[in-house]
């Protein structure tokens, strides 16, 4: 058989082989997002490939490093719905984006510059699944909107001092998760639900819920604490701590179902009548105290919102068989016991003072309460949830630093949600809505008392606000020398 090939045949075969290699190389690169907008110069480079100039609609890939020019910015989106504005002079790498079900995670790397982000579905499902790494710290994302910026030398400090707008105090976070065993979530006033983890911020009007075989301890800024038993829920109707104005201190909790263990803090001491707990059967007045409540069956508030931790046929089946023993032994109604101080049960039929070591049962809001001769076992056990005053709480949960000069390092400002800032040395700070923090070159993470103007009033647009401000952006990049947008690749 003659297998001699002509020159033209060899060229065709060589071209075919080259095409196959080219296709295999391209197929190995996973597309994970796209460029939504670019002004000035944006380049992208996958390891082993040549840099390419990026523009609107072009795809982004795992392993791709993006660079914006000195007078440029870009808006990108990832497949889970995350949107980010890359600031001028930024180097940013997409290490890995995986949207496969049950394997979802995002790992990004900020090497220089900064970005403004609105995260998507992955960060909302799992607080540990979305991370941004930098040279000094790792940012853990919990379903949030935030800005991150690496400040070199005195760049940010000069920018901050030239900003004429004033800094704002951070005071919207009223509590944090001090201990969590299992799962818990919070539903905000806008009905958006977020998963909770240790250090996560709690806000006024949040409704908190724990899952099956789960319990949580919430530490508030006035040093009051609440332990939630498994399958429990309560809402923070009001929490205002103002140590300098005693009469303006108020806390109003609405107990919905399950079990709570409460120890009052400084609000109750500054304004005794200002700390109240509403239950489906009675309103409880606090007198500097610690007490437990259990409410199950028809006692539960029927207005309690959907709990994503306990829905679905399997969860309901598990809830029936696995729920705490105390929940299976209860009659419809509410149990209360006091282990420190006293509480006042305010009923439709009158008031009852409950002293330490005593317990009572209330079938509803109109029947007379029954003083119990002994504290029932289920009320002593509380589903295994610890007394809140026995739990060690990190003293730095609410600490902050008044830093007048902006130091080099990683600066983070949270516009909504929660962020955990963990330095390479293990220093951890949790930031909530309207809070700012930084990790310095010394490896120490701190929470700031104010949001620095250079971040609070950043002129670079948010990722969902580019089109509305397009015409106003010319002045951001046009200096006194009359130079226009950067249009060369360096």
Eight-state DSSP code of residue 373: S
Contacts of residue 122, defined as CB under 8 A and 6 or more positions apart, other chains included, come to 80, 82, 99, 104, 105, 106, 129, 130
Q: Under a CB-based contact definition with an 8 Å cutoff, are residues 110 and 134 in contact?
A: yes
CA–CA–CA angle 135, 140, 143 (5° rounding) = 140
pLDDT at 438: 95
Please tell me the total number of residues recorded for the chain in this structure: 490
Average pLDDT over residues 77-92: 97
Contacts of residue 471, defined as CB under 8 A and 6 or more positions apart, other chains included, come to none
pLDDT at 330: 43
What is the signed CA dihedral for 41, 46, 47, 52, rounded to 10 degrees?
-40
* Whole-number average pLDDT of the chain: 84
Gyration radius of the chain over CA positions: 28
Eight-state DSSP code of residue 392: -
Pairing mode of beta strands 359-362, 333-347:
antiparallel
- Cα torsion angle, 86, 87, 89, 92, sign: negative
The pLDDT tens digits of the residues spanning 472-481 come to: 554 555 544 4
pLDDT at 41: 95
Greater model confidence, 265 or 350 = 265
Q: How confident is the model at residue 66 (pLDDT cuts 50, 70, 90)?
A: very high
Whole-angstrom distance, CA of residue 478 vs CA of residue 487 = 13
pLDDT at 166: 74
The pLDDT tens digits of the residues spanning 277-307 come to: 998 888 999 877 899 999 977 776 545 444 5
Average pLDDT over residues 211-226: 96
Residue found under tokens 């990832």: 78
| Terminal-to-terminal C-alpha distance of the chain | 57
Whole-angstrom distance, CA of residue 88 vs CA of residue 84 = 13
Contacts of residue 137, defined as CB under 8 A and 6 or more positions apart, other chains included, come to 410, 421, 422, 423, 424, 439, 445
Average pLDDT over residues 58-81: 96
Q: In b/e form, how buried is each residue of 107-145, taking b as 16+ CB within 10 angstroms?
A: bbbbeebbbbbbbbebbbeebebbbbbbebbbbbbbbbb
Q: What are phi and psi of 470, to 5 degrees?
A: -55, -45
Whole-angstrom distance, CA of residue 442 vs CA of residue 458 = 26
* Burial of 481 per CB tally in 10 Å (0-12, 13-18, 19+): exposed
Whole-angstrom distance, CA of residue 291 vs CA of residue 338 = 4
Greater model confidence, 160 or 254 = 254
The pLDDT tens digits of the residues spanning 120-174 come to: 999 988 878 999 999 999 999 887 899 999 999 888 998 888 887 877 666 689 9
Question: How is the chain split into domains, by residue range?
Answer: 173-390
Q: Under a CB-based contact definition with an 8 Å cutoff, are residues 53 and 83 in contact?
A: no
pLDDT at 467: 64
3-state helix, strand, coil in the chain (%, to 5): 20, 40, 40
Residue found under tokens 């923070």: 236
In this structure, how many other beta carbons lie within 10 angstroms of the beta carbon of residue 425?
12
Eight-state DSSP code of residue 427: -
pTM strictly above 0.85: no
Does residue 306 sit in helix, strand or coil?
coil
How many H-runs (helices) and E-runs (strands) does the chain carry?
9, 33
pLDDT at 305: 46
Whole-angstrom distance, CA of residue 201 vs CA of residue 447 = 13
Eight-state DSSP code of residue 401: B
CA–CA–CA angle 460, 465, 466 (5° rounding) = 70
At the top level of CATH, the class of 173-390 is: mainly beta
Which of these, 139, 144, 94, 141, lies nearest to 118 by C-alpha position? Answer: 144
- How far is residue 236 from each of residues 179, 223, 472, measured CA to CA in Å? 18, 15, 41
Strands (E), 3-136: 31-39, 42-46, 52-53, 59-61, 64-68, 73-78, 83-86, 91-98, 105-112, 114-118, 130-133
Q: How confident is the model at residue 394 (pLDDT cuts 50, 70, 90)?
A: confident
Eight-state DSSP code of residue 164: -
H or E element in which residue 317 lies: helix 313-322
């Amino acid at each position: 058989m003659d297998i001699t090939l002509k020159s033209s045949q060899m060229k065709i075969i060589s071209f075919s082989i080259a095409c196959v290699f080219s296709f295999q190389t391209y197929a190995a690169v996973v597309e994970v997002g796209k460029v939504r907008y670019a002004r000035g110069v944006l380049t992208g480079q996958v390891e082993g490939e040549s840099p390419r100039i990026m523009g609107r609609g072009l795809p982004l890939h795992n392993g791709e490093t993006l660079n914006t020019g000195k007078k440029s910015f870009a808006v990108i989106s990832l497949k889970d719905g995350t949107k980010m504005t890359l600031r001028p002079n930024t180097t940013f790498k997409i290490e890995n984006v995986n949207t496969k079900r049950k394997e979802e995670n995002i790992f990004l790397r900020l090497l220089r510059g900064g970005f403004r982000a609105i995260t998507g579905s992955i960060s909302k499902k799992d607080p540990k699944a979305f991370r941004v790494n930098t040279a000094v710290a790792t940012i853990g994302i919990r379903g949030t909107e935030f800005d991150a910026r690496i400040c070199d030398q005195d760049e940010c400090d000069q920018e901050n001092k030239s900003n004429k707008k004033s800094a704002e105090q951070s005071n919207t976070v009223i509590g944090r998760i001090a201990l969590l065993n299992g799962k818990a979530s919070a539903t905000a006033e806008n009905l958006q639900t977020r998963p909770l983890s240790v250090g996560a911020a709690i806000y006024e009007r949040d409704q908190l819920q724990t899952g099956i075989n789960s319990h949580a301890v919430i530490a508030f800024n006035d040093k009051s604490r609440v332990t939630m038993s498994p399958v429990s829920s309560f809402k923070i109707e009001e929490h205002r701590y103002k140590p300098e104005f005693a009469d303006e201190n108020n806390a109003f909790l609405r107990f919905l179902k399950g079990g709570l263990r409460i120890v009052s803090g400084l609000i109750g001491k500054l304004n005794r009548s200002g700390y109240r707990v509403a239950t489906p059967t009675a309103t409880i007045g606090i007198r500097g105290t610690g007490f437990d409540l259990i409410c199950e069956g028809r006692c539960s508030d029927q207005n309690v919102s959907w709990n994503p931790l306990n829905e679905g046929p399997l969860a309901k089946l598990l809830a029936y068989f696995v729920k705490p023993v105390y929940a299976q032994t209860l009659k419809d109604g509410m149990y209360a016991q006091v282990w420190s101080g006293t509480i006042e049960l305010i009923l439709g039929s009158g008031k009852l003072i409950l002293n330490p070591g005593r317990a009572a049962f209330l079938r509803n809001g109109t029947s007379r309460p029954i003083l119990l001769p002994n504290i029932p076992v289920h009320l002593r056990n509380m589903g295994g949830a610890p007394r809140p005053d026995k739990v060690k709480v990190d003293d730095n949960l609410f600490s902050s630093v008044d830093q007048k000069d902006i130091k080099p390092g990683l600066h983070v400002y949270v516009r909504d949600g929660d962020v955990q800032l963990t330095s390479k040395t293990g220093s951890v700070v949790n930031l909530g809505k309207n809070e700012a923090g930084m990790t310095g070159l010394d490896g120490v993470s701190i929470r700031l008392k104010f949001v620095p103007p250079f971040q609070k009033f950043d002129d670079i647009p948010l990722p969902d606000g580019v089109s509305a401000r397009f015409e106003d952006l010319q002045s951001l990049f046009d200096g006194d020398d009359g130079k226009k947008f950067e249009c060369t690749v360096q």
